[in-house]
Amino acid sequence: MDELDTAILRHLQEDARQSNRAIAEKVGIAPSTCLERIRLLRQRGVIRGYHAQVDLPALGRRVQAMVSVQVRPLNRDVVAGFERSVSELPEVLSVYTMAGSDDFLVHVTAQDIEHLHAFLLERFTNRREILGFRTSMIFQHLTNPILDPLPPTP
């Protein structure tokens, strides 16, 4: 993980579909070298994958919400079961398993408020392990496109 790897990673985070040659040129190395570096980053697990980012409204998902959930009993089976089943729902973007007063944070999208309401009533109200949940609408979601390595603490 030298600064060459970091530079390559930066470019792949910016645009994962640009050609290997373009990246090689930008970071100032030969295409073959760049290809090998990318292969190693992938193999070492530094790069976990490449994903297209889609526009949510274009997919008919016009509202977003964050749902804080408390479950009981808070044991391994209930936690794993909740994570798995909830993360598979099409309306769910991601599931955070947390420490603190709430056990999960679920990022949800829906077509509109009615759909969101129906979704919550169908998928959360019924579940017996769910003690309670609170829903907060999301106005905007900004994401940091580039993640550089942080220096290790000794």
List residues binding its own copies (CB under 8 A).
1, 9, 12-17, 44-56, 58-61, 66, 83, 87-88, 90-102, 105, 109-112, 114-115, 134, 136-145, 147-153
Which of 6, 32, 97, 136 is in the footprint of DNA by CB under 7 A? 32
Amino acid present at 69:
V
Q: How far is the CB of 18 from its own copies (least distance, A)?
A: 8
Question: Residue 26 CB: number of other CB atoms within 10 A?
Answer: 15
To its own copies, the closest distance from the beta carbon of 91 in angstroms equals: 8
Q: Quick one: 2 exposed, middle or buried, by C-beta within 10 A (0-12, 13-18, 19+)?
A: exposed
Q: Which is nearer to DNA, 4 or 105 (CB)?
A: 4
Q: Among 16, 22, 121, 131, which residue sits at the site for DNA (rule: CB under 7 A)?
A: 22
Q: Which of 62, 4, 14 is nearest to 38 (CA)?
A: 4
DSSP assignment letter at 55 = -
Using rule CB under 7 A, residue 98 touches DNA? no
Tokens representing residue 3 in the block? 């600064």
Q: 73-92 mask for DNA (x: CB under 7 A)?
A: --------------------
36 near DNA, judged by CB under 7 A: yes
Please report, for residues 12, 25, 28, 145, the alpha-carbon distance to residue 34 in angstroms, rounded to integers and kept in the order given.
12, 9, 9, 21
Alpha-carbon distances, residue 85 vs 79, 93, 98, 136 (angstroms): 10, 13, 17, 21
Answer yes or no whether residue 31 interacts with DNA by CB under 7 A.
Answer: yes
Binding of DNA by 30 (CB under 7 A): yes
